[in-house]
Structure 1
Amino acid sequence: MGANETNIATLDQAVFNQWFDQRFEARMAEREAAHVPSLSIIATKGTLDWAYPPFILASTAGALGWDVSVFFTFYGLELLKKDLHLEISPLGNPSMPMKMPFGPQWLKDINWKVPNVVMAGIPGFEKMATGLMEQTVKNKGVASIDVLRSACLEADAKLYACQMTVDLFGYSQDDFIPEIEGWIGAASFLPQAQKSDVCLFI
């Protein structure tokens, strides 16, 4: 093989490599642009404070155009009931600030460090804490759980209920909102969560 033939073969390979790299980068860019991000959340808690994270994240992701799925299991099923009666328990939750949502500013700024033994011994303390939390949420202009749940549905988030938990606790499907996407188990949700870009356990 002469020198000219060798140069031509080398040139052809170089041109092909350049063409391939350009096409590959273009195709990958097209694929990335067409990709719809997905979020899967497993919601396991049913208190007022723990109701906010899954609904805030799901509604925000839905508003951004993400494909959102939330699997409510065990106590998280409380968040799908028609009538929400969520409470909060500061007992055993040292990170929860105990501040007054009313009164002069100096009173609002005080973080009341109430010992667990006192909270446990005062009748109705959880009811009071729930009322204070609800008032704080209202004062700060934060949406209620009802509103956030509706926002999730409006953003086409898929809300799934754990059928095993429904059976375990003796619930009826009539207790829950009709917009539930499906009554499924972990075996049905996990393969879907595996394919998500983001998967959260709350």
Structure 2
Amino acid sequence: MNSTVPVIDMPTKDLDAWFNQRFDEKMAEREAAHTPSMTIIATKGTLDMAYPPFILASTAAALGWDVSIFFTFYGLSLLKKQLDLKVSPLGNPAMPMKLPEGPSWIRGKELPVPTSVMTLVPGFENMATSMMQKTMDKKGIARIEELRELCAEAEVKLVACQMTVDLFDHDQGDFIPEIHEWVGAASFLPRALKADVNLFV
């Protein structure tokens, strides 16, 4: 029994148009079925640098994205049960220092104090931390604990770097139970390779 291959009998111009239409339809179907993904590498453990990974992750998760945050080195401290985050002006020359309280003529104005001088003043780190936290509270911005909980509820994968745990002799009991897994870079990189967006914070 002979089988015959159907021949599409149409002009080349019409055939090209038909092919382009079918190709666009298939690509649209594929795009509609695709779930965007994002990986974030969090390396810093200060109060100001704790906000970007959690805000980005919670926002992406709210949009339906598949999100993972890899907490490594000092960023691992963001997963501790008890947070004691500070704002360090050292190495952060762009940090604006504004008074969240006080007379109207000075409130909200930037203090022209070089960061190199800030670091020499005893207790300045605690003062800067207090000022930033008051500013955040006044603006209605959620605290880190709340953002972290929001991420966990939105099924953001909170991934802890096992090498950092071993390096600094951390106790896993000091960390929140919502951690998705404890892995090294070799296990996290394949996930980052497949992600649509990769961020380093």
- The reply to whether TM is greater than 0.5 is yes
Sequence identity (%)? 63
- For residues 25-63 of structure 1, what are the alpha-carbon distances to aligned partners after superposition, in whole Å with 9 as ceiling and x for unaligned? 211111111111101000000000000000000000000
Code of the aligned partner of 2:138: N
Q: Secondary structure at the match of 1:107?
A: coil
Task: Give structure 2 stretches of 5+ with no counterpart.
Answer: 1-6
- Report the counterpart of residue 3 of structure 1 in structure 2: none
- Report the counterpart of residue 4 of structure 2 in structure 1: none
Q: Secondary structure at the match of 1:39?
A: strand
Report which of the two has the higher share of helix.
1
- Report the counterpart of residue 120 of structure 1 in structure 2: 119
- Report the counterpart of residue 103 of structure 2 in structure 1: 104
- Cα separation, 2, equivalents of 1:19 and 1:115: 65
- Cα separation, 2, equivalents of 1:116 and 1:28: 52
- Report the counterpart of residue 4 of structure 1 in structure 2: none
- For residues 66-87 of structure 1, what are the alpha-carbon distances to aligned partners after superposition, in whole Å with 9 as ceiling and x for unaligned? 0000000000001000111100
Code of the aligned partner of 1:128: M
- Report the counterpart of residue 88 of structure 1 in structure 2: 87
**2:89·2:119 contact (CA, 8 Å) conserved in 1?**
no
- Report the counterpart of residue 3 of structure 2 in structure 1: none
- Report the counterpart of residue 78 of structure 2 in structure 1: 79
Q: Secondary structure at the match of 1:105?
A: coil
Q: Secondary structure at the match of 1:11?
A: coil
Q: Secondary structure at the match of 1:106?
A: coil
C-alpha RMSD over aligned residues: 1.8
Say how many residue pairs are matched.
Answer: 195
- Report the counterpart of residue 151 of structure 2 in structure 1: 152
Q: How does 1:18-167 map to 2 (within 5 A)?
A: 18-167=17-166
> Runs in 1 of length 4+ with deviation above 6 angstroms?
none
Q: Secondary structure at the match of 2:58?
A: helix
Code of the aligned partner of 2:105: W
**2:100·2:108 contact (CA, 8 Å) conserved in 1?**
no
- Report the counterpart of residue 169 of structure 2 in structure 1: 170
CA gap of 1:94–1:26, structure 2 versus 1, over 3 A, is same
- Cα separation, 2, equivalents of 1:9 and 1:26: 19
Code of the aligned partner of 1:81: K
Residue 14 of structure 1, CA deviation: 5.5
TM-score (norm 2): 0.91
Code of the aligned partner of 1:133: M
Quick check: 21-30 or 108-117, which moved more? 108-117
Task: Give structure 1 stretches of 5+ with no counterpart.
Answer: 1-7
- Cα separation, 2, equivalents of 1:12 and 1:112: 73
Q: Secondary structure at the match of 2:158?
A: strand
Whose radius of gyration is greater, 1 or 2? 1
TM-score (norm 1): 0.90
